[in-house]
Structure 1
Amino acid sequence: MQNKAIQKISELAESVLTNTDFFLVEVEIKGNKEPVIWVYIDADDRGVNMDECAEVSRELSFLMDAHDMFPGGYRINVSSPGVTRPLSDKRQYPKNKGRKAKVKYKVDGEYLKIEGILQDVDDNDIAIEQEDGSVLKLHYDQLVETKIIPTI
């Protein structure tokens, strides 16, 4: 049931975002009695502000209500993913180029971790520069989790 709801909300969110420079990163549903819907959006080359999130929230809520998705009520939160959430869409990588990241990846069934500067990004790979100056190139298929490490 929840997967179908996430799929439908994702479709509706994509339709709301069609004429914007935003893309859908992820949809989560938490809780059962009164579900809390989390919709994460981002842009290729800039952040997302609160007014923009509010506008997407209004439009998406209207569509969800029109489809009578949660007759018992729900709460919706539209947000940018922020730096504490792992990167989950490859469109998030380019704007984080030059930032420090922790990357968990898989090679031949083994899980490994690396920390370094996200040096390069293209359609297929990312390159992480380690403290010793060496660079590790990883294909997106190898990535398990990438977290940006905030700097003070």
Structure 2
Amino acid sequence: MRGKTAEDLKLLDLLDPVAEAVGYEIVRLRLMGGERNQRRLQIMAERPLLEDGTGGDMNVEDCAKLSRAVSEVLDAADPISGEYTLEVSSPGVDRPLTRLKDFDTYEGYEARLELDRLAEGRKRFRGVLAGVEGDQVAIDLEGEEETALVPFAWIVEAKLVLTDELMKRGAQTRAARLESDEQQTSE
């Protein structure tokens, strides 16, 4: 889910080490557009989540830093034919969930899942994330008594639902980041 196409996956192989070297993780990468339209390489990234719960966010300076690092490698390797625009951003509060660990990190928050096949007669599900069991995502679905287990490999799209609780978490993350930045500049 971090990349949709074979070209996306090749770019992830090239750019993951670059992002990690400058202190970030790529959440999602998409190369969009075709022959007629100028292509757009969209990278969503974040700081790794630390054991103390800090990290996991990106500010404008972080985006610029990652953009410069990625641009150098893209210019040297030239893996994309033709012109393209590079966009680097944070995943945002109602972020996509693209890695198995994301479903653990956001346990207790509401999410929407879309599968590549029918399960229980449908492809789309909405519920509260209940963590991960092996390679399966646990989710408490609306109107169901038991927690459903969905194989991660079946999920083609997953996203957090914007709720007051999620907004509060986002505000707390930003506040912790600002406090951490202030402490570092005063030292």
Q: Which bracket does the TM-score occupy, shorter chain normalised?
A: 0.7 to 0.9
**Unaligned regions of 5+ residues in structure 1, if any?**
none
- Aligned identity (percent) is 25
Matches within 5 A, 1:63-74: 63-69=73-79, 73-74=83-84
In the other structure, the counterpart of 1:92 is 102
1:146 to 155, 158, 177: 158
Structure 2 CA distance, aligned partners of 1:143 and 1:117? 16
Higher helix share: 2
Matches within 5 A, 1:47-66: 47-66=57-76
Work out whether residues 9 and 64 of structure 1, in 8 Å CA contact, stay in contact via their aligned partners in 2. no
TM-score, with normalisation over the residues of structure 2?
A: 0.63
Indicate how the Cα distance of structure 1 residues 25 and 132 shifts in structure 2: closer, same or farther if over 3 A, else same. same
Higher strand share: 1
Coordinate RMSD, CA, aligned: 3.0
Structure 2 CA distance, aligned partners of 1:8 and 1:125? 25
2:40 to 24, 36, 50: 36
TM-score, with normalisation over the residues of structure 1?
A: 0.75
2:13 to 6, 11, 24: 11
Query: Between Structure 1 and Structure 2, how many residues are aligned?
Result: 150
SS, match of residue 21 in structure 2: coil
| 1:61-110 residue CA offsets vs partner (Å, 9 max, x unmatched) | 11111224458543211122335554222232222111111223445695
Higher mean C-alpha deviation, range 46-55 or range 31-40? 31-40
**Unaligned regions of 5+ residues in structure 2, if any?**
50-55, 165-187
Structure 1 CA distance, aligned partners of 2:127 and 2:6? 38
